[in-house]
Amino acid sequence: MLLKVVVLMLANLLIGLREGLEASLIVGILVAYLVKIGRRDVLSKIWAGVIAAVVLAVAVGALLTFGLTTLPPAVEPLIAGIMSILATGLVTWMIFWMARTARDLRGNLRNNIDKHLAGAGWGLVLLAFFAVGREGIETAVFIWAAAQVTQNSFLPLLGALLGLAISVTLGYLIYRGMVRLNLSKFFTWSGALLIVVAAGVLVNGFGDLQDIGIFPGVNAIAFDVSAAIPKESWYGSLLKGILGFSAVMNWGQVALWIAFVGVTLSLFLRTSLKKTATETTQPSTRRR
């Protein structure tokens, strides 16, 4: 039973850890730069934007969790399917965005701070709000969609909160210089794992739309291994929560999972490895 609980929390812990660390690093960069240039007087503006972004993310999560329960039964699968596909798109876009811009993230944020420091610095509220709010909304939507895969709301949320707590702690320790983390490798490996998790969310949303008659003609059963992999088993929960694998899947779901993981993961690894190779060769170029 304990193992099954851990399994149900695992994927969402990863989501909370990665997305929370991105947000923590952004806040750390903003705060460190303001302290460095002697503008502690506007730090409150940064924290106001961060708090507003967190409130918005919580509101989005609450709306998805409780708002959909008021919809007619015929409409709920349609909205759930669309939101799952949207969540997959959001997290995939963010993974690639971080892979492309992580190297220049510090410089971009500092430039934005310089632009908003005029006067009382109220523009910093919006800067922090949009920077953190983007991560927060994406996290809320994706955690909700991942919870639909496991048909459990509490444990995925608990896993995500634990991941967020770890990420905030790591972000603070990195800011204080007490921990050194190879962020390039972390975001590469966590991004690859999230693509696999996202494939499960995508397939689950696709299945919701199939249930109401959308995408007909691809719902013939591809395999049924429910006798070997019971839905209630810990390994069944692991496959469902991490890979989106169900003991019974149709050809449309199988083809979609393979296509999404194959194309997206290949492009992501190519982008990440190319960026890593560039970062590795540049110091030697400077020495020459």
Separation CA 195–CA 150 (nearest Å) = 17
Are the beta carbons of 53 and 126 closer than 8 angstroms? no
State the pLDDT at residue 260. 95
Determine how many CB atoms are found less than 10 A away from the CB of residue 146.
29
pLDDT of residue 281: 55
Q: What is the pTM of this model?
A: 0.78
Asked whether the beta carbons of 283 and 251 are under 8 A apart, the reply is no
Interacting residues of 153 by C-beta distance below 8 A, sequence separation 6+: 65, 147
For the chain, 288 residues long, give each residue's pLDDT as a single digit of tens: 555 566 667 778 888 888 888 888 888 888 888 888 888 888 888 899 999 999 999 998 888 877 776 777 778 788 888 888 988 998 898 888 887 776 677 777 888 888 877 666 678 888 889 888 888 888 888 888 877 776 666 777 788 889 899 999 988 888 887 777 777 788 888 888 889 888 988 988 898 888 888 887 777 888 888 888 887 777 777 787 777 788 888 888 999 999 999 999 999 988 877 765 555 555 544 443
Count Cα atoms within 13 angstroms, Cβ side, for 286.
Answer: 6
Residue 44 has which token pair? 């409150």
CB 144 within 8 A of CB 64: yes
Q: Which helix (H) or strand (E) holds 134?
A: helix 123-150
d(CA 246, CA 226): 8
DSSP line for 246-270: -SEEEHHHHHHHHHHHHHHHHHHHH
Q: Where are the domains of the chain?
A: 2-287
Residue the block writes with tokens 């240039």: 37
Cα 219–222–228 angle (5° rounding)? 130
**What's the token pair of residue 286?**
């400077």
80 near 68, Cβ under 8 Å? yes
**Residue 34 burial (10 A CB sphere; 0-12, 13-18, 19+):** buried
CA 216 to chain centre: 30
Cβ–Cβ < 8 Å for 184, 100: no
At residue 84, the pLDDT reads 87
